Homo-oligomer: A and B are copies of this chain.
């Protein structure tokens, strides 16, 4: 550290850590040394290191988690929302590897919210598929998908065989479907959601509720996706 360079020490430290990150010495997702370690290495007070880390966090190069440490920011997935929003297509388009893990697939009566979204009466039978969406093996979303059972008979069996909602819908008589509206909110995760997404409980979720319709405009699916906010960015082109 050069104390007479006319450049504040914290800037020099920030540049040094940034060099480690862009140079690849500190890969995305990895943990950086603790603030105390950095302070010792650079021969400065921990306050000075903190000033540098704050700058890096402001520029989204690192993510600081109280009690855990500082981590190099991972690449964020651009999740484009449009008429033909398909998880696997969106992920594949960015040269990443989509996968999924089924949580449950059941038949159940519709509660108020689901009934309103699907346009059926409360208590009518709906299929629910819950899954975790993953990119390159890392979980990025927990999603619940509701379908009017009457409209897509045998969907659950088809899904169990095919492992894809789009393919299962095709077998159940829905060759294609389109996203009509998406409503986006944010909230804190439940302990279960945090566990499934392997993220700390104090980081928020992006919640996107979508209504999908078939070619004739009939509602075919109501989906609720919860994204780990640091790993996904919803993109709207208009």
- Which residues from chain B contact A83 at a C-beta distance below 8 Å? 238
| Complexed CA–CA distance, A83 and B203 (Å) | 31
Q: Chain A, 72-115, contact with B by CB distance < 8 Å: what is the 0/1 string?
A: 00001010011100000000000000000000000000001100
- Which residues from chain B contact A113 at a C-beta distance below 8 Å? 59
Q: Are B59 and A184 in contact (CB under 8 A)?
A: no
Known: A59-B113, A82-B238, A236-B181. A186 touches B205 (CB 8 A): yes
Known: A59-B113, A113-B59, A204-B204. A235 touches B186 (CB 8 A): no
Q: Chain A, 192-231, contact with B by CB distance < 8 Å: what is the 0/1 string?
A: 0000000000111110000000000000000000000100
Q: Which of A183, A186, A203 has the most CB of B within 10 A?
A: A186
A22 CB to closest chain B CB, in angstroms? 13
Q: Are A235 and B182 in contact (CB under 8 A)?
A: yes
Residues of A whose CB lies within 8 Å of any CB of B are 59, 76, 78, 81-83, 112-113, 178-188, 202-206, 229, 232-238
